Amino acid sequence: LLGEMAVTFCVTFTFVNSVGSVSIVRGRSMLPTLEGGEAPFGADLVLVSSLAKRKCHPGDIVVCRSPISPSVYLVKRLIAEPEDVVQNIANGELVAIPPGHCWIEGDNVFESGDSTQFGPVPQGLLVGKVYAVLWPPSRLQWLTHQPVADVPHSFRVPKRNH
């Protein structure tokens, strides 16, 4: 029995870290795109692909570990990539995103603990890309890439071509 449990744990751990998982959205930070609430019936349950974490682009919804509290997982929108510049919507400051980092925000930016408060996030904390809402059935849908300009976020300064 102990051997079977160990094998089950190893297979599950490998699957979640290599392929994907399901995550519950908590809080109001991603309204109106995703609804957080009390699990299991009042919150969106989303499909997260771990395989796609290296292929995320601004506008994608991602899951990452909190840089402040690594045991907490955040569901946010990727706003900017390494070497981009953003104007922080919270304070108006220009922030250059360093190599190996990204800028994340909730769609409900004024009710979100995100990069507007803690700054750029190491890309190593990204867990995966959110592809679909699986629950509740009334919200079952694939999530399409939403350009950052369609929701109020920090302004991503266009790159200059030299």
Active-site choice (23, 29, 49, 115): 29
DSSP annotation of 123 reads: G
Residue tagged 């995966």 (tokens): 128
- Helix, strand or coil, per DSSP, at residue 6: helix
Active-site choice (23, 49, 53, 76): 76
Is 29 noted as a catalytic residue in this protein? yes
Look at phi and psi of residue 12 and say left if phi exceeds 0, alpha if psi is from -120 to 50, else beta: alpha
HEC profile of 143-154: CCCCCHHHCCCC
Q: Are the C-beta atoms of 74 and 63 separated by less than 8 Å?
A: yes
Q: What is the set of active-site residues? A: 29, 76
